[in-house]
Chains A and B, each alone.
Chain A
Amino acid sequence: MKNLRIFLLILTSTTLMLSACAGFQTSDSSEGQTNEEGKTVVDFWSFWGSEIRRPIIDKIVADFNASQDEIEVKHTYSPWGDIWTKELAAIAAGNPPDVVINDINATAIRGKENQAMNLSEFIDDDFSDKFYPELWNATLYEGDSYGIPFNTDTRVLFYNKDTFEEVGLDPEDPPETWEELEEYAAKLDVKNGDDYDRLGFYPLWGVGYDVWLLNANGENYFGADNNVDTVNINTETNVEVLNWLKSWRDRIGEDVVNSYQAQIDSQQGNPFFSGDLAMLVQQPTFYTQISEYAEDLNFGVAPLPEYEPGNGHTSWGGGFVAEIPEGSSDPEAAWEFIEYLTGAEAQEYWAVQNFDNVANIEAAEAAAQSDEFSEEGQMVYQIAVESMENTLLTPAPVEAPGFYNYINPHVDEFFLGSMTAEEALAQAQADVEDLIESNQ
């Protein structure tokens, strides 16, 4: 009996010890990793695993590897839902990747929490001039950058030129203001009893209510440089905008909105392709869908209409940064790769192959002239580049991470009719102020 007990005890403790050893062996990170050829290995994580994107990013990585003989970048694909929780676990374990693609809107928060490395030691004075200032500013925490902008997006108005002509509107003169938008939409509607054979426009397809708030205000809910001393959620303009948005829903009718929405979600059945919807707000990459599913569509692209004449065609965007997680084994090598990744050559290749907006201004402008685009493609990309000038990001202030989770539910209630716009916004304002207070 005794022997057996001792045996079991030894067995248990050996197992435990072995598992502990294994744990320590893998987390050796303080020294840079090198491969057999003596090159420094940079571990690069992205979520670009689709048939379209994977070859493009792999080509950029291969080009970089071929361009010098010191560094070997190893690209690892991790799915969208996993990549950042995995990265966080890796940082906590002390063995993170060296470069990660991450959401631009929380870059400052990751800087504050020491997840991403402060990049200011690598950055020259004029380095930031290469990027759109709105994107660059979103990466700053207390004046230092924690990620370099890679790609971005914006929202523009797609409209069907044939339908414009049919109802006597000038196809080269898209709506400039919200008022014109409403007027044109009404003209473009073709009603059939309670149903529509064609719908002019509906503002909440393709974008959320927040884009229209941003368009009307020309700024996000928070003060200059994202300071949280002022929180402008419950404002007269916002109440008016919400009511305006709801008036579309009331006019068109719930059922029509839902059935169109379902068709839009199904992608190839998008009513814009068939001419059943005359205008739609979308990202410029929507063009790739048009050329795939509705090649012959005669369409135009315009900046978002402005709230009032002279108010500005403010649009909304997001994007991704390349950053170095805290604890990377070789930040210098990682930085060299980031510089290449966000440089004009790689960025233009990405822009042209993906039809995606990129953060590097020179690359974006070069892409708009690219011979690889058709004439239509050039036109769309040109508008996209122009729209970038008026595109704002809505990064979360470090004091209010995930602030939209505190606003959206109340606005949902407003659209569902169980709250007035004033009530919904007042509650949202109070909740966000509470959130800020609890984080200060």
Chain B
Amino acid sequence: MGKRKLTIRRKESIYGYIFIMPFIVGFFAFTAGPLLFSLAGSFTDYNITSRMDFVGVENYQSLIVDDGLFRTSLWNTIYYVAFSVPLTTLGAIFISALLNQDVPGIRVFRTLYYLPAVLSGVGVYLLWMQLLEPGTGMVNLLLGWVGIDGPNWLYDPDWTKPSLILMKLWSVGGSMLLYLASMQGVSRSLYEAAEIDGASRWRQFIHITIPMITPVIFFDVVTSLIGGFQIFQEAYIMSGNGEGGPANSLLFYNLYMWNQAFESFDMGYAMAMSWILFVIVFVLTLINLKLAPRWVHYEGEEK
């Protein structure tokens, strides 16, 4: 046999690399450079056009020690993530469980619940601003019919973040689709066996469905956690003039970073902010990965 003969294992790993080649090329050609540049820039007073002097850890120091708005923005973002991630995950599982039933017209319902995920961006935010209008909006009108005096939503600092979370809940259709797909993949025989053993629907759901979809839950939690920390557009549009009002209650991390970069042209400062956010998200993801083996169940996994 010639020395060109490869083992199957080697062959497979080469195929693997060829398949991920587009990403790797893209990463090194377009992402890696700016990434390293922003790390270097975070130690300077870079302002894009005229200045790039080394200032050591001054940016990090003043962010952590002096900057009140940095703390406000971090707090706002953590608040948002802490509520929106669990609520949207639970919401998506709940809806997909409902849509996994075999009832007439289920396709229509699936389409309806998925629709909000197709619509996106500024148009939706403007629509929600109208819906949440305290005096004339639909939300308060509906609440009024059941005798609830609705809050001032986007005008009351205590309600602005809940408003955004409510809006996010409306568009859980995207992750609902993932859950639905994985629920459909759960083997019928498991349910049949449980039924013979006399397990109720609820117990089947808790002990079969949930464990079988944990890989998707894990994926959803990780990605929506990362996405949650990057919230920007919603605040930029829905705080009216992009300042993060009222009373800074919508000043999220990325919005403040954007203001520093493109309004004050303090790019070095903004770069330092982005690296702090990176560290926070990185640590949280690591924790997630460490915790995963305790609750995520992969079928066919070797223990």
Contacts and interface: CB of A to CB of B under 8 A. Distances in A.
A258 B134 contact: yes
A15 B62 CA distance: 41
A209 B256 CA distance: 23
Interface in A250-273: 255, 258-259, 261-263
A361 to B, nearest CB: 30
Interface string B14-51: 10010001001100111000000000000000011111
Interface in A226-278: 255, 258-259, 261-263
Interface string B43-79: 0000111110000000000100010110000000000
A19 B29 contact: yes
Interface string A78-110: 000000110010011000000000000010010
Nearest to A257: B135
A408 B50 contact: no
Contacts of A92: 48-49
B152 interface: yes
A11 B30 CA distance: 16
A402 B259 contact: yes
A276 to B, nearest CB: 14
B245 A412 contact: yes
A401 B48 contact: no
Interface string B215-234: 00000000000000000000
Nearest to A259: B135
A3 B47 CA distance: 47
B184 interface: no
Contacts of B247: 409-410, 412-413, 416, 418
Interface stretch (B80-88, B169-177, B260-268, B288-296): B260-268
Size class of the contact patch on chain B: 35 or more
A39 to B, nearest CB: 29
B243 A401 contact: no
Contact of A113 (B136, B244, B246, B265): B265
Interface in A1-26: 1, 3-4, 8, 11-12, 15-16, 19-20
Contact of B49 (A19, A114, A258): A114
Contacts of A12: 24-25, 28
Contacts of A418: 247
Q: Which of A1, A259, A261, A418 has the most CB of B within 10 A?
A: A1
A374 interface: no
Do most interface residues of chain A lie in helix, strand or loop, or is the interface mixed? helix
B262 A88 contact: yes
Nearest to A431: B68
Interface string B173-204: 00000000000000000000000000000000
Nearest to B262: A85
A404 interface: yes
Given A16-B25, A262-B134, 7 more contacts: A91-B49, A114-B49, A114-B50, A258-B135, A401-B264, A405-B263, A409-B248
Interface of A: 1, 3-4, 8, 11-12, 15-16, 19-20, 84-85, 88, 91-92, 106, 109, 113-115, 255, 258-259, 261-263, 326, 401-402, 404-406, 408-410, 412-413, 416, 418, 431, 434, 438
The 10 closest A-B pairs by CB, nearest first: A259-B135, A114-B50, A412-B247, A409-B248, A401-B264, A258-B135, A412-B246, A19-B29, A262-B136, A114-B49
27 contacts: A1-B3, A8-B17, A12-B24, A15-B29, A16-B29, A19-B30, A20-B29, A85-B262, A113-B47, A113-B48, A113-B51, A115-B49, A255-B135, A258-B133, A258-B134, A259-B135, A259-B136, A262-B134, A262-B137, A404-B243, A405-B69, A406-B69, A409-B245, A409-B246, A410-B247, A413-B247, A438-B66
